[in-house]
Amino acid sequence: MLQADMPAADSVTHTGTHAAIRPAPTFLPQAAQRLPGALRGPLLSLLGLNRLAVLYDSLPRHEAPAHFAGLALEALGVSLQMEGAGREGIPASGPLVVVANHPFGALEGLLLAHALLPVRPDLRFLANYMLSAVPEMRGLCISVDPFGGKDAARRNVAALREAMRHVEAGGALAVFPSGTVSHLQPSRRAITDPAWHPNVGRLVHRTGADALPVHFHGRNSLFFNLAGLLHPAARTALLPKELLKKRDSVVTCTVGRVIPSATMRDLPGDEERTRHLRMRCYGLAPAPRKVLPLFPRPRPRSVQPVATPRAPSLIRDAVHALCESPAFLLSEGGYSLLETDAAAAPDLLHEIGRLREETFRAVGEGSGKALDLDPFDATYRHLILWHEGDGRIAGAYRFGEVDRILAAQGVKGLYSSTLFRFRPGFFALPGSALELGRAFVHADYQRDYAPLLLLWKGLARCVLRRPGVRRMFGPVSVSLGYSPYSLQAIIDWMLRHSRCPVCSPLVKGRVAPRLRQPGATTPPRTEGLDYNGLCSLVRDMEGGPGVPILFKHYLRLGGRIATFHCDRAFGSLDAFLSIDLASTPRRMLARYMGEEGLASFEASKQRADAAARRTG
């Protein structure tokens, strides 16, 4: 509970106007206890320990820790305001480790005991050994000694084993993994917990427990933090007065969602587990207050309402006209696929722009305009998925024929050039290419796998219609509404496990992502995670949405990631994806192209390779 090194009052007896006070718990360091009485008395008064002793003596004797914690908070005039998604879902049974930041000292321990013991009567605290000096709290504590000494290591190992046995038996355990109170970290330019001990990650993993993150809002005074820069002992000595400063206040804490044991198991190592726990704790902190900048940024543009749809009869007539033309690609399972351009189907393009904006806004992205259309739509091709029964567009892709665009407009004619910088060598890679982008499946059709499968079959037909096309590339996005930790985990995993060695030196994002982690949490490392582990981690972190499904399908096709770009105007983190169809597993190509189409693609590739050898 109170892992901060907090001293408290020695036994004190007041005379004169005060009645005798029953002995208070003795938290003074042994060196201070050996001081002569003439010095010890003024020291107790200076540190505020006498006042704490008076408060302690005013409490009725009671053996129940929950009741004692409530009485102590009442005496201090402190109340707790709990909020957050996990507030109503605290598990009433089963192995559970509660991890919390440590901003004040004694106070958060009392608050946790008061709040959680009614739900988890089996709650215990892995706590500073001095807490056991409080008789009313002694039964809650599994004591550790943060100060060292010749026997401290042995005692701490024994305490950790006892804590593990308690959790393994189905009990609940609360820990403050920093071991000391939050204080000013000059290197991090923040008042926050020092590094969390990796033992907490080890404990959660080895016991198979779920974890419950709790974040207490607030901090100790500036004087407390500045004093700690002179010497840690000065900070320790001020803790009693900091507790007294919290009198007659409301402390807010946010309770996060329970972190399943499976998520912790998938993380690569105890340090990464501890890092994740810290991030989940500090991710609950309120957003920092805005400071008026010296040069204010431009006001954000307003978001326009999404455009109203065109008359269904206009859309239906346009689709039926395309179905009777070479634009028709295939029909399957009640859907039809069409390939067209903007000039041939202006009403369809309007509807695509409307549905794009509606779909992207639903995941925290979007242009903010009534229609998600740009000048590139006029020169690109559009793959449209039409649901026959509903008479609606279910999804679409936009793609550009790279050789034709480069010949007519140069690199600036590519949409990707607005997000990424290309070196000339990129366009000298073997084979022709299609640039992909602006893919969507409308929310009404996302529960079914068929629309995405059919869009990919449509892309395969588009490739087969263009002999010599071997590569596909373009941006694939994640919403910037995801937490910085999730975004950094996605970046780390993609560049660690799926980096494109060919394209990475040739393509760079125009705006490199700079994701500040909450609570001075170090960025996540994902070297031990497979893709499913990454998806579980992000899904757990975000409380539902995981890694966007397009990543999974692109990677299955052999796609690789070269770099990332941060598009704050659109609200997205864009990965540059490149697929060399010559390296795509044959069974995947057959799934989308069909055996006959695959044979045609392979024959075209062989002719192109032979021509390259002759000219080379």
pLDDT, tens only, 573-584: 999 999 999 999
Contacts of 410 (CB under 8 A, 6+ apart): none
DSSP string, 359-403: HHHHTT---SSSS---GGGGTSEEEEEEETTTTEEEEEEEEEEHH
Between 285 and 62, the more confident residue is 285
Grade residue 22 by pLDDT with cuts at 50, 70 and 90.
very low
The 8 Å CB, 24+ separation contacts for 248-251 are: 248/76, 248/77, 248/78, 249/77, 249/78, 249/79, 250/78, 250/79, 250/80, 250/81, 251/78, 251/79, 251/80, 251/81, 251/104, 251/107, 251/108, 251/111, 251/216, 251/217, 251/218
Give the whole-angstrom CA distance, residue 235 versus residue 224.
6
Hey, what are 384's tokens? 């449209």
Can you tell me the mean pLDDT for 520-527? 72
Q: Which residues pair with 255 in a beta bridge?
A: 214
Name the range with the highest mean pLDDT among 29-33, 69-73, 185-189: 69-73
Give the range among 169-183, 193-207, 368-382, 532-546 with minimum mean pLDDT. Answer: 532-546
Can you tell me the mean pLDDT for 330-351? 95
The sign of the dihedral angle between the CA atoms of 338, 344, 348, 352 is positive
Give the whole-angstrom CA distance, residue 513 versus residue 568.
10
What angle is formed at CA 189 by the lines to CA 188 and CA 195, rounded to 5 degrees?
A: 35
**Rounded to an integer, what is the distance from CA 359 to the centroid of its chain?**
22
pLDDT of residue 297: 41
Grade residue 12 by pLDDT with cuts at 50, 70 and 90.
very low
Can you tell me the mean pLDDT for 155-178? 92
Grade residue 351 by pLDDT with cuts at 50, 70 and 90.
very high
| 24: pLDDT strictly greater than 60 | no
Grade residue 237 by pLDDT with cuts at 50, 70 and 90.
confident
Can you tell me the mean pLDDT for 139-165? 78
pLDDT of residue 57: 79
Write out pLDDT tens, residues 451-507.
999 999 999 999 999 999 999 999 999 999 898 888 999 999 999 999 999 999 999
CB 122 within 8 A of CB 133: no
SS3 241: helix
Instruction: Give 177: exposed, middle or buried? Use CB within 10 Å, 0-12, 13-18, 19+.
Output: buried
Give the range among 96-110, 291-305, 350-364 with minimum mean pLDDT. Answer: 291-305
Residue 94 zone, left/alpha/beta (φ > 0; ψ -120 to 50; rest): left
| 7: pLDDT strictly greater than 70 | no
pLDDT of residue 356: 96
List, in sequence order, the alpha helices (H) in 77-124. 107-116
% of the chain with per-residue pLDDT over 70: 86
Contacts of 273 (CB under 8 A, 6+ apart): 198, 200, 201, 202, 204, 205, 264, 267
Give the range among 69-73, 391-395, 397-401, 605-609 with minimum mean pLDDT. Answer: 605-609
Hey, what are 553's tokens? 């399908």
Q: What mean pLDDT value characterizes the chain?
A: 85
Write out pLDDT tens, residues 243-272.
889 999 999 999 998 999 988 988 888 998
Grade residue 524 by pLDDT with cuts at 50, 70 and 90.
confident
| 5: pLDDT strictly greater than 50 | no
| 311: pLDDT strictly greater than 60 | yes
Give the whole-angstrom CA distance, residue 486 versus residue 575.
14
pLDDT of residue 17: 35
Grade residue 229 by pLDDT with cuts at 50, 70 and 90.
confident
Grade residue 11 by pLDDT with cuts at 50, 70 and 90.
very low
Grade residue 528 by pLDDT with cuts at 50, 70 and 90.
confident
| 3: pLDDT strictly greater than 80 | no
The DSSP call for residue 105 is S
Where do the domains of the chain lie, and which CATH numbers do they carry? 61-282 (3.40.1130.10), 312-615 (3.40.630.30)
Contacts of 144 (CB under 8 A, 6+ apart): 3, 126, 127, 128, 129, 155, 156, 159, 160
Residue among 545, 546, 540 nearest 256 (CA) = 540
pLDDT of residue 293: 39
| 322: pLDDT strictly greater than 90 | yes
Can you tell me the mean pLDDT for 21-26? 49
pLDDT of residue 16: 36
